[in-house]
């Protein structure tokens, strides 16, 4: 690991100031994964009282970026190239938790798997795969 959870949070906050006010935080950095929590807020709900799809997509993208930072260091120009999400069940109106891990880490791209859960439940509410384009060492 190149960065701790605190360092990842600080780095994201510097580049994306809305990160902190959104109630999102990296809570765990491990050798093979990161965990990111989106704190529940009423304004994240869609009609029907469930967490909105865009909230889940943003959480997944944040988790992917956090994984890249934690494992590779401060790579500001790593960018989302692809994000595919499958909504599996209705997320409860509680904190939402994302766990991200690499499926493949190459020199130019990373393929990442993200599992999203409602706090207090072991049942996945969404499954995400995404690809991040990594800058070449000369463009870091």
State the pTM of this model: 0.95
78-91 pLDDT tens trace: 999 999 999 999 99
109-122 pLDDT tens trace: 999 999 999 999 99
Q: Which CATH architecture has domain 5-139?
A: Roll (3.10)
Long-range CB contacts (< 8 A, 24+ apart) of 76-80?
Answer: 76/11, 76/15, 77/135, 77/139, 77/140, 78/110, 78/132, 78/133, 78/134, 78/135, 79/132, 79/133, 80/130, 80/131, 80/132, 80/133
For residue 104, the surrounding DSSP H or E stretch is strand 96-105
- Rounded-to-integer distance, Cα 52 and Cα 47, Å: 9
Count the Cβ atoms, other than its own, within 10 Å of residue 58. 17
- Residue 30 CA, chain-centre distance (Å), reads 14
pLDDT at 46: 95
pLDDT at 58: 95
96-105 pLDDT tens trace: 999 999 999 9
Domain ranges of the chain: 5-139
Percent of the chain topping pLDDT 90: 89
pLDDT band at 36 (very low <50, low <70, confident <90, very high): very high
What average pLDDT does the chain have?
A: 95
pLDDT band at 136 (very low <50, low <70, confident <90, very high): confident
CA distances for 18 relative to 21, 22, 36, 135, 140, angstroms: 5, 6, 15, 24, 24
| Ordered strands of the 24-29 beta sheet | 24-29, 34-38, 96-105, 109-118, 124-133, 79-87
pLDDT band at 45 (very low <50, low <70, confident <90, very high): very high
pLDDT at 138: 59
């Amino acid at each position: 690991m190149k960065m701790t959870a605190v360092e990842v949070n600080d780095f994201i906050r510097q580049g994306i100031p809305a990160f902190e006010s959104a109630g999102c935080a990296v809570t765990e950095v491990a050798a093979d994964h990161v965990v990111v929590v989106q704190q529940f807020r009423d304004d994240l709900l869609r009609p029907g009282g469930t967490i909105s799809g865009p909230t889940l997509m943003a959480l997944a993208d944040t988790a992917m970026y956090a994984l890249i930072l934690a494992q590779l260091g401060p790579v500001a120009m790593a960018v989302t190239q692809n994000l595919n999400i499958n909504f599996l069940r209705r997320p409860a109106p509680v904190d939402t938790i994302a766990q991200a891990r690499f499926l493949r880490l190459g020199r130019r791209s990373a393929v990442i798997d993200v599992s999203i859960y409602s706090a207090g439940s072991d049942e996945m509410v969404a499954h995400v795969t995404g690809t991040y384009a990594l800058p070449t060492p000369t463009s870091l």
